[in-house]
């Protein structure tokens, strides 16, 4: 069944494996496993919330550790000096900001000690999302499935209509929530650990060796569902930069359908992938005894989901209607009724069970995004003995019984009595729980659905790279385009700041007349050179634009003295903040910038003079920030000085040679001054790129 590099990434042996149904059992088991961590923990998710209580079905902790997730992790590291915990969270789209904790870098990264690290992971193409939900402890126990450690997930298997403990961190109640996670150990856990370390390295540039734990991290009191069994690990990985595409998740869905003889049981949040529906329908026509039961959410709440996923689900169901299979197919949602209250359980799980031979638990929805656009990780078991088959049957009956308010034994009895999975789902009901038919209504107009679906549920990543290659003739990796958009947004922020300094009371601090008047007042002083250098240094520490200081110095002291004073001041400011960065070191800057600092500083350090010159000539970050990062990165002092001089030289020469003209052009511009400013900019750019080409050729010749 499992074919590495086709429908699975790897096949590994697990000594033990357990399916954890719903977040309360999962959180409780995870808490116990984390207490056994000694070396490294990787927690990777679509979302992570620092305040969510990490507690089991009781809704409280009795082990003496704090309940909130972040505080719990801090307590673990405080008593274990060798424990390193790495949190990797998708650097998410603003579209999801209302669903997640605001400013995760502050709420998680700054609250935690240095050995609890948070990184926002942007190592993926534009338009994609990191959707894997993984926890790996010392490479000896790993969890994968649909559950993030975040808000509005915790619920017990009872899914009571009212549960006073089912509230988010702000105290707001939410509806019942259903999801599934799987826990494995042995070689399977080590392999998922390899995936976690790979994700961390792509995001931060840091390499972590595999943990060599000699202790057992399997949580106490948890009996394994499976023992000594092969585990298939399937991934979706969109292509970006040098990372190849992987589509094992989709292929495993298709291949597992061909195993069906009697029943296909699916729990999934989204259902839009038509080729999977068509594969199931073909198998059902080939084998007339097969029944399909799909358990999904009642509705899709957000406007975007309602416009895309609902319409997609209508089309998905339509495949079976057109094939004449409606009598053997059910699309249902879990409903709960108590007195005069009615609620539906949010189905967030991603589970597929085929007869008693195949079990799959993961993060992948049955939609287009999960097949090729987002990162996913699914774990699957293909049974080979009667004991494992009985376990798969019990897990399916447990899941179905939970939605119907009965135990696995009653589900088994009803199946025996009716001989039908869909009839069992139609008839079983207890304690107000039942499965009700999904009613999606009519689809949206085709044009609207196609337009929104191309963004919300694309089959492939946004084709920016191909577009740029066709229109510009240049191959630009996805990540670089994504970063280009971030730079553009940063440019808008800078523009806003400039307008603030122009049209608010702060404008008087940047009035060139005021600055020049202050400069003229000391121009005849013997201390003028030291004062100018001191002003440059002080301004550097408060991120004052160095270009303004150079222009004022040139306009005040003339071309020759202006060049000398401005060069001395700019270099002094550079060296002062460079030394501060070296003094603070990488760890201090990492606290501010995060683990991705490693990726940036490695590139700066490796390129030396050329990097510094390029950054100076084409400033992609504030002058002071560049100096701080250069000092912390370990770039050689000589390279820093030479690169800074090379990068600043074009601007210093042009600004200083214009002398007073630049001041008048900036303070009271006319058409002539504007034309002169344009010529200045073109000259600056020409000199910058000319020097860059010259240095590149010199370095290439030396190599």
Q: What is the pLDDT of residues 380-418, one digit of tens each?
A: 999 999 999 999 999 999 999 999 999 999 999 999 999
Q: Could you tell me the CA-to-CA distances from 614 to 205, 475, 703 in Å, in that order?
A: 22, 21, 19
Q: How many domains does the chain have?
A: 3
Same domain, 606 and 485: no
Task: Tell me whether residue 211 is in a domain.
Answer: yes
Averaged pLDDT, 171-182 = 96
pLDDT at 247: 95
pTM of full prediction above 0.85: no
Q: Phi/psi of residue 405, each to 5°?
A: 80, 20
Question: Which pLDDT score, from 0 to 100, does residue 536 have?
Answer: 82
Share of residues in the chain with pLDDT > 70 (%):
69
Give domain status of residue 451, yes or no. Answer: no
Is there a single domain that holds both residue 253 and residue 365?
yes
- What local confidence, expressed as pLDDT, does residue 562 receive? 77
Question: Can you list the pairs that 92-95 forms with residues at least 24 positions away whose Cβ atoms lie under 8 Å?
Answer: 92/46, 92/47, 92/120, 92/129, 93/129, 95/304
667 token code pair: 């303070």
Q: Is residue 525 part of a domain?
A: yes
pLDDT digits (tens, 9 = 90+) for 610-635: 555 555 544 445 666 677 777 766 67
466, two tokens: 């191909």
Assigned domain for 444 exists: no
Query: Strands 134-137, 84-90: parallel, antiparallel or unpaired by DSSP?
Result: unpaired
User: How crowded is residue 110: how many other Cβ atoms within 10 Å of its Cβ?
Assistant: 11
CA–CA distances in Å: residue 661 to residues 97, 283, 536, 548, 665: 49, 81, 22, 14, 6
The answer to whether 286 touches 41, Cβ cutoff 8 Å, is no
Q: What does DSSP say about strands 351-354 and 177-178: parallel, antiparallel, or unpaired?
A: unpaired
Same domain for 94 and 184: yes
Q: Which residue has the higher pLDDT, 610 or 544?
A: 544
pLDDT at 371: 94
For residues 477 and 528, membership in a common domain is answered with no
How many Cα atoms occupy the beta-carbon half-sphere of 416 within 13 Å? Answer: 7
Q: Are residues 488 and 600 in the same domain?
A: no
Asked whether residue 66 is assigned to any structural domain, the reply reads yes
How far is C-alpha 43 from the chain's CA centre? Answer: 12
Buried b (16+ CB within 10 A) or exposed e, 449-461: beebbeebbbebb
Q: What is the largest CA-CA distance in the chain?
A: 104
4 assigned to some structural domain: no
- Summarised one tens digit per residue, pLDDT across range 32-49 is 999 999 999 999 999 989
Residues 531, 488 share a domain: no
User: Is residue 612 located within the same domain as residue 669?
Assistant: yes
Domain housing 100:
10-437
Mean pLDDT, the chain, rounded, equals 81
Residues 487 and 603 in one domain: no
Q: Are residues 118 and 235 in the same domain?
A: yes
Cα–Cα–Cα angle for 491, 492, 497, rounded to 5 degrees: 95
Measure the CA–CA gap between 644 and 638, rounded to whole angstroms. 10
Q: What pLDDT score was predicted for residue 596? A: 54
Q: What is the CATH number of the domain that holds 195?
A: 3.30.870.10
Same structural domain, 298 and 184 = yes
Q: Residue range 145-150: average pLDDT?
A: 95
Residues 488 and 520 in one domain: no
Specify if 74 maps to a domain.
yes
Phi then psi for 633, rounded to 5 degrees? -75, -15
User: Per-residue DSSP letters for 577-599?
Assistant: HHHHHHHHHHHHHHHHH-TTHHH
**Strand 84-90 vs strand 116-121: parallel, antiparallel, or unpaired?**
parallel
Residue 123 has pLDDT above 90, yes or no: no
| Assigned domain for 346 exists | yes
Cβ–Cβ under 8 Å, residues 605 and 573: no
pLDDT tens digits, 634-659: 676 777 777 777 677 766 766 666 55
pLDDT tens per residue, range 347-390: 999 999 999 999 999 999 999 999 999 999 999 999 999 999 99
Do the bridges between strand 346-347 and strand 177-178 make them parallel or antiparallel, or are there none, so unpaired?
parallel
- Please say whether the dihedral angle defined by the alpha carbons of residues 624, 625, 631 and 634, taken in this order, is positive or negative: negative
More confident site: 281 or 212: 281
More confident residue, 218 or 635: 218
Distance of CA 486 to the CA centre of its chain: 15
pLDDT tens digits along 475-521: 544 444 444 444 454 445 445 544 554 556 655 555 555 666 666 66
Same domain membership, residue 428 and residue 530: no
The pair of three-digit structure tokens given for residue 163, joined into one six-digit string: 């549960």
């Amino acid at each position: 069944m499992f074919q590495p590099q086709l429908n699975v990434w790897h096949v590994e042996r697990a000594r033990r494996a357990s399916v954890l149904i719903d977040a309360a059992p999962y959180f409780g088991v995870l808490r116990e496993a984390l207490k056994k961590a000694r070396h490294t923990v990787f927690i990777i998710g679509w979302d992570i919330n620092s305040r969510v209580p990490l507690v089991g079905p009781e809704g409280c902790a009795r082990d003496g550790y704090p309940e909130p997730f972040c505080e719990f992790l801090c307590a673990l590291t405080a008593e274990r000096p060798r424990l390193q915990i790495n949190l990797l969270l998708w650097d998410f789209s603003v579209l999801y900001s209302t669903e997640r904790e605001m400013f995760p870098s502050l709420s998680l990264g700054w609250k935690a000690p240095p050995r609890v690290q948070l990184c926002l992971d942007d190592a993926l193409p534009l338009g994609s999302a990191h959707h894997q939900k993984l926890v790996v402890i010392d490479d000896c126990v790993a969890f994968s499935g649909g559950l993030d450690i975040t808000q509005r997930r915790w619920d017990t298997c009872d899914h009571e209509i009212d549960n006073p403990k089912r509230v988010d961190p702000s105290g707001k109640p939410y509806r019942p929530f259903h999801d599934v996670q799987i826990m494995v150990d042995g070689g399977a856990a080590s392999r998922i650990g390899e995936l976690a370390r790979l994700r961390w390295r792509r995001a931060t540039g840091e390499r972590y060796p595999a943990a060599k734990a000699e202790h057992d991290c399997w949580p106490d009191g948890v009996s394994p569902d499976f023992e000594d069994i092969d585990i298939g690990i399937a991934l979706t990985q969109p292509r970006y930069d040098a990372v190849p595409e992987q589509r094992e998740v989709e292929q495993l869905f298709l291949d597992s359908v061909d195993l069906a003889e009697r029943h296909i049981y699916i729990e999934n949040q989204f259902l839009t992938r038509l080729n999977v529906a068509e594969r199931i329908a073909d198998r059902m026509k080939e084998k007339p005894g097969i029944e399909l039961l799909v358990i999904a959410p009642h509705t899709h709440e957000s406007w975007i989901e309602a416009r895309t996923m609902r319409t997609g689900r209508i089309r998905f169901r339509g495949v079976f209607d057109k094939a004449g299979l409606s009598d053997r197919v059910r699309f249902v949602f879990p409903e709960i009724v108590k007195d005069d209250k009615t609620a539906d359980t949010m189905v967030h799980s991603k589970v597929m069970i085929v007869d008693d031979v195949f079990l799959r638990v993961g993060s992948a929805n049955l939609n287009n995004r999960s097949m090729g656009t987002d990162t996913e990780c699914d774990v699957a078991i293909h049974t080979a003995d009667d004991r494992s088959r009985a376990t798969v049957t019990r897990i399916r009956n447990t899941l179905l019984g939970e939605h119907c308010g009965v135990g696995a034994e009653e589900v088994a009895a009803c199946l025996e009595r009716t001989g039908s999975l869909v009839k069992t789902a139609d008839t079983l009901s207890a304690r107000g729980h039942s499965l009700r038919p999904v009613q999606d209504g009519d689809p949206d107009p085709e044009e609207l659905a196609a337009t929104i679906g191309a963004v919300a549920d694309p089959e492939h990543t946004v084709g920016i790279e191909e577009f740029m290659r066709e229109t510009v003739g240049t191959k630009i990796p996805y990540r670089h385009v994504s970063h280009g958009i971030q730079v553009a947004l940063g440019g808008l922020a800078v523009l806003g700041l400039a307008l603030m300094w122009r049209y608010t009371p702060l404008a008087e601090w940047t009035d060139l007349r005021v600055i020049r008047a202050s400069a003229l007042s000391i121009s005849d002083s013997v201390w003028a050179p030291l004062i100018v250098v001191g002003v440059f240094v002080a301004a550097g520490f408060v991120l004052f634009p160095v270009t303004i200081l150079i222009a004022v110095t040139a306009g005040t002291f003339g071309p020759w003295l202006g060049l000398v004073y401005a060069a001395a001041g700019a270099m002094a400011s550079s060296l002062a903040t460079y030394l501060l960065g070296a003094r603070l070191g990488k760890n201090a800057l990492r606290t501010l910038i995060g683990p991705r600092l490693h990726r940036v500083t490695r590139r700066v350090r490796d390129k030396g003079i050329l990097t510094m010159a390029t950054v100076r000539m084409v400033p992609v970050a504030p002058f002071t920030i560049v100096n701080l990062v250069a000092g912390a990165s370990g770039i050689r002092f000589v390279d820093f000085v030479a690169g800074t001089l090379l990068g600043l030289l074009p601007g210093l020469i042009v600004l200083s040679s214009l002398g007073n003209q630049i001041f008048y052009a900036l303070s009271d511009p006319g058409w002539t001054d504007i034309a002169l400013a344009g010529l200045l900019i073109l000259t600056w750019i020409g000199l910058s790129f000319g020097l860059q080409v010259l240095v590149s050729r010199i370095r290439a010749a030396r190599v």
